[in-house]
Amino acid sequence: MRIALISNEPPPYRIPVFKLIAQEPGVELLVIFCCRREPNRLWDLPPFEFPHTFLKERIVTRHGRYIHNNPDVISVLRRYSPDVVVTDGFNPTHLYAFAYAAMMRRAHVAMTDGTDQSEKSLSIVHRTVRRIVYARSHAYVAASEGGYRLFRQYGVDADDVFKSCLCIDNSKFRNSASNSTFEDKRFDFMFSGRLEDVKNPLFAIDVAVGASKLLLRRVSILFAGSGSMDNAVKAYAAARTQWIDASFHGFAAQSELPFLYQSARIFLFPTLWDPWGVVANEACAASLPVIVSPNAGVAGELVRDRQNGFVCSLDADVWAANATALLSDPKLYRRFSDASGEAVLDYTYRSAADGLINACRHAARTPLSVMRMAGE
């Protein structure tokens, strides 16, 4: 079975999955990337130990999003002649690949990290495009339960949907966490991610200030990441030094992350929009309780309310009260910490690879004459 997978760029959390798929007996894989790296990404990437190619870069920026338009994907697919074409988005490049699969009567797999919540505000045009693609696909890959719900909204049969979770190397974070105790940790809170408005970093400071007032002591918070709000976040923190001690690590390489998480007690994830949130995988693997907004795909799935964290609307007082409960009750903290480590165990590269392989095998077995009228 020859698989061609079209992706915008190489994400570090998918590269090990592609390697495992390429090693699967009876499977040949070619990953076709639209570009080497989108302009707002600072990822440091592991080795590419799988067949891959980069298309001629053609990116248009629209409303802060990068649109890839690489018609040369058609010639790459013609040369490779795959049995199954997997697309993980709806940029023009993905649609060219989908059209190739339809014209050449090759199986198509629609893959998405999106959820029913992350896509609830899509325009009629975007929904129509998805309806057309989903109606003519042979298998579907979701990254989460929210992805399953999304496919159901388009009338997709549950038997045709497979899960390929978003994950990290849990062992690297777990090994670091095993050497750390609550008392050893330097920071009460950690925020990791791009310092951009959508990630809501100023809210994390408000939570820390609120916790300080409840605990009657200064609290510490670590920021790992960089972005256009660098100066604004530092200024906001500097105006609140009466209550908080904020440290800014800046961009963190993958090798640094386990030790950064090890240094903190609670992970704050107040995002305004995130189809999933791999930072929560990192925090859970390091046995940190997580407080998350309902706007992240991990909410209610990887992060379970009152089990290994709290899922809270964006009310800083509520977040501060929940954080204070954890910081002032060692037994409660340990229970949540242990539950985080347990919750992330099933989110592995092997599981993610198997889900995608099974979807492709299912698609290859589905008669090409079968067309689903998604949404009917």
Instruction: Return the percentage of the chain with pLDDT > 70, whole number.
Output: 94
Domain limits, the chain: 2-167+348-365, 170-343
* 95-131 pLDDT per residue, tens: 999 999 999 999 999 999 999 999 999 999 999 999 9
The counts of H helices and E strands in the chain are 13, 15
Compute how many other C-beta atoms are within 10 angstroms of the C-beta atom of residue 12: 15
Nearest to 11 by CA among 293, 254, 229, 226: 254
Q: Please state the rounded mean pLDDT for residues 69-89.
A: 97
* 4-29 pLDDT per residue, tens: 999 999 988 899 999 999 999 999 99
**pLDDT band at residue 40 under the 50/70/90 scheme:** low
Fold of 2-167+348-365: Rossmann fold (3.40.50)
Element (H, E) at 136: none
Q: Please state the rounded mean pLDDT for residues 24-52.
A: 87
Q: Please state the rounded mean pLDDT for residues 295-303.
A: 96
Q: Please state the rounded mean pLDDT for residues 284-304.
A: 97
Nearest to 122 by CA among 137, 112, 135, 109: 112
Instruction: Return the percentage of the chain with pLDDT > 90, whole number.
Output: 86
| Residue at 260: amino acid letter | L
Fold of 170-343: Rossmann fold (3.40.50)
pLDDT (0 to 100) of residue 84: 98
pLDDT surpassing 80 at residue 2: yes
Average pLDDT, the chain: 93
DSSP 8: S
Token pair for 264: 């903190």
pTM value surpassing 0.85? yes
pLDDT (0 to 100) of residue 69: 94
Nearest to 320 by CA among 291, 295, 283, 289: 291
In terms of C-beta density within 10 A (0-12 exposed, 13-18 middle, 19 or more buried), how is residue 242 classed? exposed
Same fold, 2-167+348-365 and 170-343: yes
Pairing of strands 2-7, 161-163: unpaired
pLDDT (0 to 100) of residue 345: 96
Q: Please state the rounded mean pLDDT for residues 180-186.
A: 84
**pLDDT band at residue 374 under the 50/70/90 scheme:** very low
